[in-house]
């Protein structure tokens, strides 16, 4: 193998080394990974006629209606002794429709059409695969390729429901072009309403999409779409990988949601879970053919001790077929624009990140602890997605900081477009929990916001769904807590807690937006300071929906201050849209003043000034700027419409002096009130980026 690695060439590895020379000692690892990828692609070419055909396996597996209306059924169940199809169509006869055994653990069955030439199985009727095991057991299973599954109200188990509507929804709007600045609205359809119930795709289309558009987000990341039997798993314990969750409505209603988003110029990403699968057997993948493996590694390797779930065998040909076709299915059938890959850290390492801290030492990312089967699966997935769909966006959720995660496959990277900057929200929670305002470490905040691998794009966020979950709470609630129940009226003066909370909520978001990455993410409702936390109906809370909803009604009440936070979030995004700082190179931080609690940086020729001091305002404060000329205020967190105190005059023109300051060629003198953030732009620059 060593000799073979020496002969492998990673086409653009030199570009990666130019960016990070410290990766040179691990060249062999990069070569081995790239070689494994090339071997996979070669095998796909040889055995399946290439990845294009292979990843369309959703057109041959499960159930397919043929041109003559006969139905073709196909499954992979290598350990099964026999397979039968049963359902409403045959009066639930368990033996009348046997599958025929084929090579490589495949099973096939053809159902001719009825006398009237219509398909033998009607649209919206139930089906089951009956699996006979070698041990003589009879198991009732849902096809892993099922496109629609549904749970009866009184039932615990989901049913496979044949989905073949007479007039399927046709999407008419083309995909928007890939945004250069990614502003993501992370959303969950089921909680997207103030009502104490599971909200629908249609509610999201009609009531939430217009808000997202108004707020200036150009990308939606949809969580909990892949079917999951347990609602409180937040969509992370998948039972049916090809089925859009029926608890929110039909597949056609999800297609319409995406179509309408596209009409608004918004791209839609799917939160895809290929890192593990639910342990459910009757309505999940587990024990599909009666064996302990099939789609998964045998225990213990095939079990995640912390998540209590099953782990895929990424070296298996049929698992690759299943997962890669799954990605293609969501892109083709629903016309998603890309994916946020969940739980990447668990995939990349044999230890799954359990009980392991990452110091950033490069030896942690190479060697025997790395699971190269799953690493190569991710390279393969990114290579195929970006080849077939050049505008496809892929985002990795990885806490380890794996180098080259977001570099092209040709350089030896994993091929993701973005990684989530997961240290940033943790830092904000830690600060709010542990430090008094006067003890905030400005240098440490700046370091956390700028500490990212050069050349690998990050999605920055102050909080996501993780921070809102039960046991934690939203940033707004950390800041203002129970005062939010009684003191959010704009008809009364702000008390000190509300004043602090409103001002810091805006500043935390803007400094994260401007400094923290090449994309920005907000979790549904947090843009307007959603109170409390998130908790799904479960035994521990008497199946309550009280915390499993988003109270958009709070924004619509003009006398409450939520609409002020909403307005700031909207104008922050719109200002970015105009100046494009997310698409610009990282910021130059010219000031991080501990005593003054001031941060100043410029990015995309826009100057950001933050005064985090709880009570000190600064008159005639010198700020370094690079480009000479006349500057004006373009965004000001202290405006009254944002719940501020209106202390700044927006007609003020700031003229540069040829006095270098803090590493910048010129400087201006500004007034910055306490707990205020301002964005200045040069009036003499054409900002069309």
Known catalytic residues are: 342, 397
The C-alpha atoms of residue 525 and residue 555 are separated, in whole angstroms, by 9
Q: Tokens for 643, please give them.
A: 């719940």
Q: What tokens appear for 136 in the block?
A: 């003589």
Q: What's the burial of 594, exposed, middle or buried (CB within 10 Å: 0-12/13-18/19+)?
A: exposed
Report how far residue 639's alpha carbon sits from residue 650's, in angstroms, rounded to the nearest whole number: 10
| CA 415 – CA 338 distance, rounded (Å) | 13
* DSSP states along 659-677: --BTTBSEEEEEEE-TTEE
Helices (H) and strands (E) in the chain, counts: 17, 29
- Identify whether the C-beta of residue 245 lies closer than 8 Å to the C-beta of residue 226: yes
Strands 100-101 and 106-111, sheet pairing: antiparallel
Q: How far is it, in rounded angstroms, from Cα 329 to Cα 242? A: 7
Would you state the structure tokens that stand for residue 25, as one six-digit string?
């000692």
Tokens of 390: 């050049």
Q: How far apart are CA 28 and CA 591, in angstroms?
A: 42
Taken as a whole, the chain contains a residue count of 689
Residues 615/674, Cβ–Cβ less than 8 Å: yes
Spell out a b/e string for 668-688, using b for 16 or more CB atoms within 10 Å of the CB, else e: bebbbbbbbbbbbbbeeeeee
Tokens of 132: 């006979």
Residues 6+ apart with CB under 8 A from 192: 199, 203, 204, 207, 208, 524, 550
CA pseudo-torsion sign 6, 11, 12, 14? positive
């Amino acid at each position: 193998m060593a000799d073979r690695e020496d002969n492998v060439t990673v086409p653009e590895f030199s570009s990666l080394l130019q960016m990070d020379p410290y990766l040179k000692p691990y060249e062999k690892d990069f070569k081995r990974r790239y070689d494994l990828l090339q071997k996979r692609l070669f095998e796909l070419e040889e055995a399946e006629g290439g990845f294009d055909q292979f990843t369309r396996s959703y057109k041959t597996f499960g159930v397919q209606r043929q041109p003559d209306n006969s139905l073709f059924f196909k499954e992979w169940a290598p350990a099964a002794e026999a397979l039968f199809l049963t359902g409403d169509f045959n009066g639930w006869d368990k033996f009348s429709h046997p599958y025929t055994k084929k090579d490589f653990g495949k099973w096939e069955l053809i159902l001719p059409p009825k006398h009237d030439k219509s398909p033998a199985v009607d649209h919206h009727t139930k089906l089951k695969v009956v699996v006979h095991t070698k041990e003589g057991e009879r198991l009732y299973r849902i096809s892993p390729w099922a496109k629609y599954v549904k749970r009866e109200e009184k039932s615990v188990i989901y049913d496979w429901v044949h989905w073949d509507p007479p007039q399927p929804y046709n999407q008419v709007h083309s995909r928007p072009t890939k945004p250069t600045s990614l502003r993501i609205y992370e959303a969950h359809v089921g909680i997207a309403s103030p009502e104490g119930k599971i909200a629908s795709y249609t509610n999201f289309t009609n009531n939430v999409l217009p808000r997202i558009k108004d707020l200036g987000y150009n990308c939606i990341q949809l969580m909990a779409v892949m079917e999951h039997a347990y609602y409180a798993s937040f969509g992370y314990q998948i039972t049916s990988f090809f089925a859009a969750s029926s608890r929110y409505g039909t597949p056609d209603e999800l297609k319409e949601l995406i179509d309408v988003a596209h009409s608004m110029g918004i791209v839609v990403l799917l939160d895809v879970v290929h890192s593990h699968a639910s342990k459910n057997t009757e309505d999940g993948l587990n024990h599909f053919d009666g064996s302990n493996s099939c789609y998964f590694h045998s225990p213990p390797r095939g079990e995640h001790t912390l998540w209590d779930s099953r782990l895929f065998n990424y070296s298996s040909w049929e698992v690759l077929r299943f997962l890669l076709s799954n990605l293609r299915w969501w892109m083709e059938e629903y016309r998603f624009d890309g994916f946020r890959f969940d739980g990447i850290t668990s995939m990349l390492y044999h230890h799954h990140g359990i009980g392991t801290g990452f110091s950033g030492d490069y030896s942690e990312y190479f060697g025997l602890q790395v699971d190269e089967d799953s690493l190569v699966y991710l390279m393969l997935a990114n290579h195929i997605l970006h080849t077939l769909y050049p505008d496809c966006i892929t985002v990795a959720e990885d806490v380890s900081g794996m180098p080259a995660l977001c570099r092209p496959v040709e350089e030896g990277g994993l091929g993701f477009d973005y990684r989530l900057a997961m240290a940033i929200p943790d830092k904000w929670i830690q600060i709010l929990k542990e430090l008094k305002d006067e003890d905030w470490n400005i240098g440490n905040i700046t370091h956390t916001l700028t500490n990212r691998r050069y050349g690998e794009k990050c999605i920055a966020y102050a909080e996501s769904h993780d921070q809102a979950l039960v046991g934690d709470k939203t940033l707004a609630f950390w800041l203002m807590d129970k005062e939010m129940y009684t003191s959010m009226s704009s008809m009364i003066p702000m008390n000190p807690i509300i004043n602090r909370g409103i001002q810091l909520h805006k500043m935390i978001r803007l400094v994260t937006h401007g400094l923290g990455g090449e994309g920005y993410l907000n979790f549904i409702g947090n843009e307007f300071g959603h109170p409390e936390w998130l908790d799904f109906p479960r035994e521990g809370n008497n199946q309550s929906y009280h915390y499993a909803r988003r109270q958009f009604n709070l924004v619509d009440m003009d006398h409450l201050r939520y609409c002020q936070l909403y307005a700031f979030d909207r104008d922050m995004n719109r200002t970015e849209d105009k100046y494009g700082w997310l698409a610009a190179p990282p910021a130059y931080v010219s000031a991080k003043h501990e005593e003054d609690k001031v941060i100043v940086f410029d990015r995309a020729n826009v100057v950001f000034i933050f005064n985090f001091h709880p009570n000190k305002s600064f008159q005639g404060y010198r700020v370094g700027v690079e480009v000479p000329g006349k500057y004006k205020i373009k965004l000001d967190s202290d405006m009254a419409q944002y719940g501020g105190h209106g202390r700044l005059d927006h007609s003020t023109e700031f003229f540069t002096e040829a006095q270098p300051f803090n590493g910048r060629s010129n400087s201006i003198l500004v007034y910055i009130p306490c707990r205020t953030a301002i964005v200045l732009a040069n009036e003499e620059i054409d900002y069309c980026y």
